[in-house]
Amino acid sequence: MHQREHFNSRLAIVLALAGSAIGLGNIWRFPYVVGEYGGAAFIIVYIAFSLCISLPIMLSESIIGRHARKGVYCALRDLAPRRPWWKWAGLVAVLGAFIISSYYSVVGGWSVDYMMRALMKGFSPDAPDNVMGIFGRMSSSVWEPIAAHTIFLGLCAAIVMLGVKNGIERFNKFSIPLLFILIVGMLVFSVNLPGARGGVEYLLKPDFSKMTAKGLSCALGQSFFSMSLGIGAVLTYASYMKPDQGILSAGVWTTLFDAGFAIMAGFVVMPAVFSAGIAPGAGPSLVFESIPYIFAKMGAASPLLARVASVTFFLTILIAAVTSEISMLEVCVSQLVEQRQISRRKASILVFILAWGLGVLCSLSFGVLGHVRILGSGIFEFFDQLSSNYIMLLGALAFAIFVGWQMKKADVEAELTNGGSLRASSRLFKFLYPVIRYVIPPAIVLIFITNLL
Ligand code: PHE
């Protein structure tokens, strides 16, 4: 029997959870949806949702994980041995983690590619308009994005292979503080660019009329994705917590770090976009077209500054993507290690091969496989929507119902309060438990229905 690993300290678990949470979702989606759905109004609703809905789900996942000391499938199987459907819910979560890990790695690969470009030759100041075309050419080609995807996934699988303490914990320990240093540095730089005011206003002008059902569902969906909920990433990390580490404080810190990072990313990206006088977009075009265009324009005035800024920017995206990717891979690897009893090394290699294969299909859907449609969407888009609109929500629903209705109340309380020794957690439990039972499940069902309409 192998000894189960643990995160070494309270800080290590917070850094791991924050590493999983802070990722591409914070950098390329958050700034855009904020502007699209009412600026400060959206930010307020987003924070409220994160604290009132996402945080309780994060705590539910943590409670299951630490109580079972197993990954998602085995945890649900062992804690509810007479209700076999729970383990199937666990399997769906693992599948969700696997799907996201494969297409996320394609985007991680693009950031490897752009970081190398920024490092080797920068973005040509002579033809900033051409710079915007690089992304289309690169992503639709065959070998370049696949090579970058291979490097990215290989790096992440290697970290996971090294283990919880020697791989994941060690990597997060230096990369999360570095991420915050980089983002603060870029923030100062960006808000001081000429014409940055427009971007600041875009993010801050509150417009509550945009808070429609769609806006609300978007805020919650963004918060779920950003906090890595519903696919067992939090559950699996929490299964490596020691009994004296606090679940509540880890959850609260993670929520604050994640929202704080997203807001800072907004103030890095949007002022720069407005300063360059281009229309704000979301997703790939924002990060891989608009931003390089800005660096190219900046390069005409000060090449060195543009070079440093562009390397910093893509390095930040790359690190943020790596720390998220390893949390998804860990869900799959721990499943294989625990259920199939194979070594971590073999499991990591197997997950690498499978995720690489699906990732290749997703990558090719921007080029030669562009015509392939699954239920009307391209391959990449299909897997993105399947996982973030459906699997994550269903997973979150399952975890909340499991903690609220399947586990014994006394076990849930003991887990959250470390056997009654944490006073603040004990006080909060009285309030939290009914929220998990009665508020979270209907809220998720409502969002699910809104997504279907
Ligand atoms: N939270 C990550 C992001 O914002 C994505 C993620 C989703 C990571 C699910 C792990 C699990 O990019």
For the chain, what are the domain ranges?
Answer: 10-452
Higher pLDDT: 221 or 260? It is 260
Q: Write the pLDDT tens digit of every residue in 243-257.
A: 889 999 999 999 999
Give the bridge partners for 374, in sequence order.
377
Instruction: Fill in the amino acid letter for 42.
Output: F
The residue whose CA is least distant from atom 9 of ligand 1 is 228
Q: Write the pLDDT tens digit of every residue in 371-384.
A: 999 999 999 999 99
Residues 6+ apart with CB under 8 A from 109: 145, 146, 147, 148, 149, 150, 151, 152, 153, 359, 363
Asked whether residue 129 carries a pLDDT value surpassing 80, the answer given is no
Distance 325 CA to ligand 1 centre (A): 8
The residue whose CA is least distant from atom 6 of ligand 1 is 228
The tokens of 232 are what?
């067992």
Quick one: pLDDT at residue 225?
94
Atom of ligand 1 at shortest range from CA of 21: 1
Atom of ligand 1 at shortest range from CA of 229: 9
Distance 17 CA to ligand 1 centre (A): 10
Which of 101, 172, 183, 228 best tests ligand 1's pocket when mutated (most atoms within 8 Å of CB)? 228
C-alpha to C-alpha distances, 161 to 74, 100, 336, 405, nearest whole angstrom: 20, 19, 13, 36
The residue whose CA is least distant from atom 7 of ligand 1 is 228
Distance 298 CA to ligand 1 centre (A): 31
Is any atom of ligand 1 closer than 6 Å to the C-beta of 231? Answer: yes
Which of 20, 29, 183 best tests ligand 1's pocket when mutated (most atoms within 8 Å of CB)? 20
Quick one: pLDDT at residue 1?
46
Q: Write the pLDDT tens digit of every residue in 67-104.
A: 999 999 999 999 999 999 999 999 999 999 999 999 99
Strand, helix or coil for residue 374 = strand
Higher pLDDT: 4 or 143? It is 143
Is any atom of ligand 1 closer than 6 Å to the C-beta of 254? Answer: no
The residue whose CA is least distant from atom 12 of ligand 1 is 23
DSSP assignments along 377-410, one per residue: B-HHHHHHHIIIIIIHHHHHHHHHHIIIIIS-HH
Q: 10-452, which class in CATH?
A: mainly alpha
Question: d(Cα 71, Cα 94) in Å, to the nearest integer?
Answer: 9
Q: Produce one character per residue of 388-403: b if its CB has 16 or more CB atoms within 10 Å, e if not.
A: bbbbbbbbbbbbbbbb
Which of 225, 261, 328 best tests ligand 1's pocket when mutated (most atoms within 8 Å of CB)? 225
Q: Nearest Cα to 28, choosing from 304, 243, 318?
A: 318
* Prediction pTM value: 0.95
Distance 24 CA to ligand 1 centre (A): 7
Share of the chain above pLDDT 70, in %: 99
Is any atom of ligand 1 closer than 6 Å to the C-beta of 334? Answer: no
Instruction: Fill in the amino acid letter for 19.
Output: G
